[in-house]
Amino acid sequence: MGRPPLDLGTYGKIRCSQTESGWVAVANYRDFDGKTRPVLRRGKTKPEAERRLKKALAERKGPTGDSLTPDSRFKDALEAWQVKFQKLVDMGKRSPSSLDTYRSILGRHVLPGLGELRIREMTVARIDAFLGALWRSVGVDSAKTARSVISGALRIAVRDRALDTNPVRDTDPLESGRKKSPRALTREERLLWLEMLESDPAAVRKDLPDLSRFMMATGVRIGEALAVYWDDVDFEAGTVDVNYTVIRAAGLGLIRKSTKTEAGERTLPLPRWALDMLRRRREATLFPNGPVFPNSLGGLRDPSNTRRDIRKARGGDEFAWVTSHVFRKTAATILDEAGLSARVVADQLGHARPSMTQDTYLARKAVDRKAADALEGALDRADQDEPGEAAD
């Protein structure tokens, strides 16, 4: 019976011999493709040759998928996860902004707290303790992001057989407490909000009144609103294509990228008052080939800065709760109150759900015209005459 083969990534006895020019150290190494190969290093002395050989053997790695062992540092798994996530970003399957967020949490918290541990030391109790401390110190959102990073890195470790199971799955859930019910602007609040903005020169200069109207007319996210170009607006059909969002990516600045999912790419019918607003803007714009809501130079506008502008414009306590996402909730509430189905509302907002059956068997993309009809009266005054009523 032959001698059993070396384990993958290990080497046999080191053999040294002296030559005319110095010493040679050699050992058989079983590579990660299963083949055993001799590895040789030279040195002026025997110890030097051995050191060089051991260093070469330690640095010898196989293809990703077999490079991690239980004794590898957790930081090696984190590096492998980053490389994998970067490839997904390059393929357009993940957002550059998501990678930036993960890298920030990784660099500030995960690497300092866990990076030097061996993979075999990444136990449920140790991860629980780390996430609990992070939750208490910086908040549940950062802790949840850290949990995702740790879990992704340990999935690679499981794949490489450095662990049997992913311990993150058995950690305690991170809960932020009872969520507040969504709040939307009422009809009166919508009108007061626009009146307040129109009377604020800074808000007008920042283009907030029309941006608010557009977001209430469509229910789009702020990044999606700022990514709409004039070419996306079809005035004859009365629709707008929502296929992109604006993000800030490290090293790239502001970019216009495709929406998160296929469901996010949609064509939305517009209520007449929104079309009238867009026609007025089209006639006055200095940038007919650029964004509908550009920055002062006609380029893309930063969603983060625009959210800050909204916070500054909302004034005192009356609208202190208003954020850019409230306009999205407002549009959804109007559609729901009009009796539209959950599927129509989900299509309007660019959500893949609420039902797998509906997602699979119903036609998508062009949203029901009822959505625009329901939004038609979003900015009507409460005391306006109803259709069919005679004025006094």
CATH number of the domain enclosing 211: 1.10.443.10
Q: Are residues 158 and 192 in the same domain?
A: no
Tell me the percentage of the chain whose pLDDT exceeds 70: 88
Within-domain flag for 181:
no
Q: Which domain holds residue 112?
A: 74-170
Give the mean model confidence (pLDDT) for residues 344-357: 65
Has residue 381 got a pLDDT over 50?
yes
What whole-number distance in Å separates Cα of residue 138 and Cα of residue 136? 6
Within-domain flag for 239:
yes
Alpha helices in 199-299 (DSSP H): 201-205, 208-218, 222-227, 272-284
pLDDT tens per residue across span 70-127:
889 999 999 999 999 988 877 777 777 788 889 999 999 999 999 999 999 999 999 9
Q: Are residues 150 and 203 in the same domain?
A: no
**pLDDT for res 367:** 59
With tokens 């007025």, the residue in question is 280
Q: Are residues 140 and 283 in the same domain?
A: no
Please state, in angstroms and as integers, the Cα–Cα distance from residue 211 to each residue in 243, 328, 352, 357, following that order.
18, 12, 25, 35
Residue 12, token pair as written in the block? 């046999």
Closest CA to 256 of 316, 324, 302, 205: 302
Within-domain flag for 108:
yes
**pLDDT for res 310:** 93
Phi, psi dihedral angles at 98 (to 5 degrees): -65, -40
Q: Is 0.85 topped by the overall pTM?
A: no
Contact 92, 135 (CB under 8 A): no
Contact 101, 109 (CB under 8 A): no
Within-domain flag for 130:
yes
Q: Are residues 116 and 235 in the same domain?
A: no
Within-domain flag for 175:
no
Q: Are residues 191 and 157 in the same domain?
A: no
**pLDDT for res 68:** 87
Q: Which residues does 177 contact at the CB level (< 8 Å), separation at least 6?
A: none
| Domain stops at, among 115, 141, 170 | 170
| Class of residue 285 by CB neighbours under 10 A (exposed 0-12, middle 13-18, buried 19+) | middle
Has residue 389 got a pLDDT over 60?
no
Within-domain flag for 151:
yes
Q: Are residues 260 and 326 in the same domain?
A: yes
Contact 128, 173 (CB under 8 A): no
**Overall domain count for the chain:** 3
Angle, nearest 10°, between helix axes 324-337 and 342-349?
150
Q: Are residues 44 and 78 in the same domain?
A: no
Q: Are residues 282 and 365 in the same domain?
A: yes
**pLDDT for res 272:** 94
Q: Are residues 40 and 120 in the same domain?
A: no
Within-domain flag for 300:
yes
What whole-number distance in Å separates Cα of residue 242 and Cα of residue 219? 11
| Domain stops at, among 111, 143, 170 | 170
Q: Are residues 220 and 87 in the same domain?
A: no
Q: Are residues 82 and 231 in the same domain?
A: no
Q: Are residues 213 and 356 in the same domain?
A: yes
**pLDDT for res 178:** 56
Within-domain flag for 103:
yes
Q: Predicted confidence band at 264 (pLDDT cuts at 50, 70, 90)?
A: low
Has residue 252 got a pLDDT over 90?
no
At 141, which CATH number? 1.10.150.130
